[in-house]
Amino acid sequence: MRPKQIKAIATSPMDYLRFATSGRVPRLVRPDGPLIALLRAITPRDRMQIRGLKVDSALGYAGSRMFATAEQALRWCAPDDEMLERESWPAESWRDKRFRGPLTIETLLGNAASYPEDLKARYARRRSW
């Protein structure tokens, strides 16, 4: 059992009752999608250097949101590596579940206001996520 699951059992009467009667623990899910995979493939330092990122339909999300850095956009898309199944997070309701990509580093950087010049070359070997 993971700490997040233990905390859920200890703080949620519904989860405690389910665990006490059936032995089932709250299920963990991993937030996933093309943009999340692409942002996770970029190092945290590089994500901080990608500034003014606009997350919109080109990146697989409805609407349009502007983030100061790509790291901030990743935290909006996936607040944690694992989430409880019943937890909700802001980006999930805006994610286009039919969007399959592929997303490339060029598409991501096309939606950014500024980024280091060598960033595109460093990630060019991996074409899509």
DSSP string, 34-59: HHHHHHHHS-HHHHHH-EEEEESGGG
Mean pLDDT of 14-31: 94
Question: 69-99 pLDDT, tens per residue?
Answer: 999 999 999 999 999 988 888 898 999 989 9
Q: Please tell me what DSSP assigns to residue 95.
A: B
3-state SS assignment for residue 121: helix
Give residue 46's pLDDT.
96
- pLDDT of 102 over the 60 cut: yes
Distance in angstroms between the alpha carbons of the first and the last residue of the chain: 31
Say if CB 92 and CB 119 are below 8 A apart.
Answer: no
How many residues make up the chain in this entry? 129
